[in-house]
Amino acid sequence: MSKPSWQEVAKTAKEYRDASIHRVDPPVPEVLAQLPLDRTEIPKYLLTTEEVLITETQPEELVASLAAGQYTSTTVITAFLRRAGIAQALTNCITELLPERAIVRAKLLDEYYKEHGKPIGPLHGLPISVKEHIGMKDLTLSAGFISWWDKKGEDDAHVLKILWNAGCVFYARTTEPQTLMHLETSSNLYGATTNPFNGQLTSGGSSGGEGALIGMRGSCLGLGTDIGGSIRSPAANCGLYGLRPSSYRIPVEGWSATMGGQEQVVAVLGPLSTSLDGVKMFMKTVIGAKPWLKEPSLIPIPWRDQESWLGASSGGKKIKIAVMWDDRVVRPHPPITRALLEVVEKLREIEGVELVEWEPYAHDEAWEIISSLYFSDGAQEESDAIEASGEPWRPLSTFIIKDNPNVKKLCVDDIWHWTQRREAYRMAYAKIWNDTGTSVGDTGELEGMVDVILCPVGPGAAPPLDCARYWGYTSQWNILDYPALVFPVTKVDLGVDRVDSDYNPMNGKDEYNHELWHSGPEKYEGAPISLQLVGRRYEDEKVVESLEFIKAKIGLPFAKFV
């Protein structure tokens, strides 16, 4: 029997996905062929009033409603299955729905609640969506490669077992790009995943299926992964909250990717959500299960939010925020700078907030280091996985591998050299952060250091397809292994966000990014604008608390997202 062509495999994958959607009961409503740029309102006209209410409820509120018996798990998961099916028709974000598994699980939870009068766990009945390369027993683990389509998960990933034991319901698996190394989501298996707020733009990547699904409110909490911005890019592009945790806090056993075992740039798993509380709920639940007992590489640090990480002032808490306007490599588009300025101006009025400028240190060197360590085998595994099926290289796979001058096959001495460069850079950056404080007493203990850095997530709002070619605003924090939390602020406003015709680009990368905006701002109409807070390694809790403080004080976001 001859080996199927890559086109035949892709056709099979799409048919498999479509069949899973067709099994949802009641059926997923049909979507009209003629679609507006902004698709976020369409589900409201296709679902019942109750289904709209359920799917637009924040995850922490949904858990409370389920725990109080206001909704059954079956009612909730049916609503999300139907909205997820609509989201697929509008943004191309699903690899498969799991209607049978989800309904069986939901009925079991309903029976438990009826018998015991209480939820089975802290996430009782909560629908959670999952990026496809995070393993589920007997389901695909393609990681975006045609040649891996027939790979199957031998067991559920460690993190999924923890969430399952807490009471959640898995119901949707989402798209990722070829190689997993794009800040967009396009593969030859499923095509391109698009932005809910503007169908001409990308949802981001590599967790862009999660970004689009949650942005469409076909999910309220989902799992993504991040090695260079793959949680934060889709969260930012789709107006969501997304956390890139410090390494070795969240279990990763059971996922599928190339270069398993490399430790020079550690990939992490983390949440995307419609709310900050959803992010926090995920972190507390997973870390509260003490995953380090099973996965020894994890750091045995509990989630530490019993006491405040912030200082005290006469009016309550105090916080020192460093503002990084740009990274001195690529200047952000006007909407990003406007959003950052709006947040900073409001923070200036808040008692207990100290604002300082953050001077980026050699961010171009950081990219040289991390992009030299990403593919230490010269991207041989990626190339082999692509070429095994004969599928074509996607444009952004070519960009990050073939067009990347730092992709070389490294010998042991080379790996040691770049790892030493990484550690030296981390020490230099740590010193800059330490120097924001003052030495106190005989011990030399530092006080008054910056708590968090407030900065862009990317050089613009969600870019047009195949144009996400600058990683520096996210990969910077991967090489340092700093936790980074994305949050929505506002949207592109063509009445305010104008072209800067007098700007002279600093370099070729800056020129490329500048031209994306200069050549036609109208293509970004309605796109979400997000920012990120960055903290020091293993101060994930401080970053979350800092955003809680900021949100409460200045009323983020400034625009409505669904």
Active site residues: 131, 206, 230
Three-class SS of residue 193?
coil
Residue 228 and residue 374 in contact, taking contact as beta carbons nearer than 8 Å? yes
What Rg, from alpha-carbon coordinates, does the chain have? 23
One-letter amino acid of 185: T
Residue 396 and residue 471 in contact, taking contact as beta carbons nearer than 8 Å? no
Three-class SS of residue 278?
helix
Q: What is the DSSP letter of 122?
A: T
Q: What is the DSSP letter of 95?
A: E
Give CA 229 to chain center in angstroms. 7
Retrieve residue 235's tokens.
């969260």
What torsion, rounded to 10 degrees, do the Cα atoms 148, 81, 231, 457 define?
A: 140
Number of H helices and number of E strands within the chain? 17, 18
For CA atoms 74, 79, 85, 91, the dihedral sign is: negative
What torsion, rounded to 10 degrees, do the Cα atoms 332, 333, 339, 344 define?
A: 40
Please state whether beta strands 241-244 and 484-491 pair in parallel, antiparallel, or not at all (unpaired).
Answer: antiparallel
Three-class SS of residue 379?
coil
Retrieve residue 110's tokens.
């309903």
Kind and range of the H or E run holding 321: strand 316-323
Phi/psi region, residue 316 (left: phi>0; alpha: psi -120 to 50; beta: rest), is left
∠ Cα 527 529 531 (to 5°): 155
Three-class SS of residue 172?
strand
CA nearest to 267, candidates 454, 414, 142, 134: 134
For CA atoms 337, 338, 339, 342, the dihedral sign is: positive
Q: List the end-to-end C-alpha distance of the chain, in Å, as a whole number.
A: 50
The number of beta carbons lying within 10 Å of the beta carbon of residue 56 is 17
Class of residue 82 by CB neighbours under 10 A (exposed 0-12, middle 13-18, buried 19+): buried
CA nearest to 471, candidates 543, 366, 376, 393: 366
CA-CA distance, 329 to 334, in Å (whole number)? 16
Residue 190 and residue 203 in contact, taking contact as beta carbons nearer than 8 Å? no
CA-CA distance, 50 to 460, in Å (whole number)? 36
